[in-house]
């Protein structure tokens, strides 16, 4: 009876940590590549890459080899929103949110009471102002945001007299955030103690019932 075994080489413990402050500035990508080649770490932890997308080819270029595995965690920014009512304040409001979205290295979540609807179908027994809705939709489309679907309710706000209904509350997320968690949806919670329904953002498969022919 014979047996065989192999001895795996023990690699030197070298872990490189770098706050790069943007790969696409001042030749930092080539500088990082030379650092990898000279120090030969087994793990490199990089912060503040400021890269919107990272793929296999980019990692292989930096590492100098195809024998590499990687994981990416994008920074998430959550903005709690309470939108103003007047037209003048709304204009400044959308401009301020636009300026936030210019930081495209972040995964964005905007949630709360936007105090605005996107279409006439999101209001009942209350005035719909097309100009205001257009500004809201322009903000969403120009920044590539996703209006996460709301399940279980059509409206999120009801007036004290129970006559006026509107969808003022929602979650808007960037595509990078949606890619981090698949199958996002919003569910409405109990709203007995408020004129606005609480909303819960979550992910997972949703059973919509049997499919019709």
Phi, psi of 16 (to 5 degrees): -100, 130
Helix (H) or strand (E) holding 39: helix 28-39
Q: Both 87 and 185 in a single domain?
A: yes
Q: Both 123 and 96 in a single domain?
A: yes
Q: Both 138 and 180 in a single domain?
A: yes
The whole model's pTM is what?
A: 0.71
Q: Both 179 and 83 in a single domain?
A: yes
What number is the average pLDDT over the span 159-167?
90
- Domain containing 147 equals 75-203
Q: Both 175 and 140 in a single domain?
A: yes
Q: Report pLDDT for 208.
A: 45
Residue-wise pLDDT tens digits, 18-37:
888 788 778 889 999 999 99
Rounded to 5°, the CA angle 171-177-182 comes to 90
Q: Both 138 and 196 in a single domain?
A: yes
- Domains: count for the chain: 2
Q: Cβ(114)–Cβ(168) under 8 Å? A: yes
Q: Both 83 and 54 in a single domain?
A: no
Q: Both 23 and 122 in a single domain?
A: no
Residue-wise pLDDT tens digits, 43-94:
898 887 877 678 899 899 899 988 888 887 777 889 999 999 888 899 899 9
Please check the confidence at residue 134 and state whether its pLDDT lies above 60.
yes
């Amino acid at each position: 009876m014979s047996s065989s075994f192999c001895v795996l080489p023990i690699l030197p413990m070298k872990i490189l940590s770098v706050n790069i402050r943007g790969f696409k500035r001042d030749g930092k990508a080539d500088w990082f590549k030379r650092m990898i080649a000279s120090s030969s770490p087994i793990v490199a932890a990089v912060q503040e890459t400021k890269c919107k997308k990272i793929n296999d080819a980019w990692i292989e270029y930096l590492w100098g080899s195809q024998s590499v595995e990687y994981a990416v965690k994008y920074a998430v920014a959550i903005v709690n929103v309470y939108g103003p009512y007047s037209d003048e304040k709304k204009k400044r409001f959308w401009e301020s949110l636009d300026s936030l979205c210019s930081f495209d290295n972040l995964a964005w979540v905007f949630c709360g009471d936007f105090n605005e609807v996107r279409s006439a179908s999101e209001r009942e027994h209350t005035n719909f102002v097309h100009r205001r809705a257009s500004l809201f939709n322009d903000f969403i489309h120009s920044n590539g945001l996703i209006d996460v679907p709301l399940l279980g309710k059509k409206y999120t706000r009801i007036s004290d007299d129970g006559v006026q209904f509107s969808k003022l509350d929602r979650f808007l997320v960037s595509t990078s955030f949606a890619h981090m968690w698949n199958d996002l949806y919003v569910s409405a919670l109990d709203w007995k103690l408020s004129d606005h329904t609480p909303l819960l953002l979550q992910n997972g498969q949703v059973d919509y019932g049997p499919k019709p022919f």
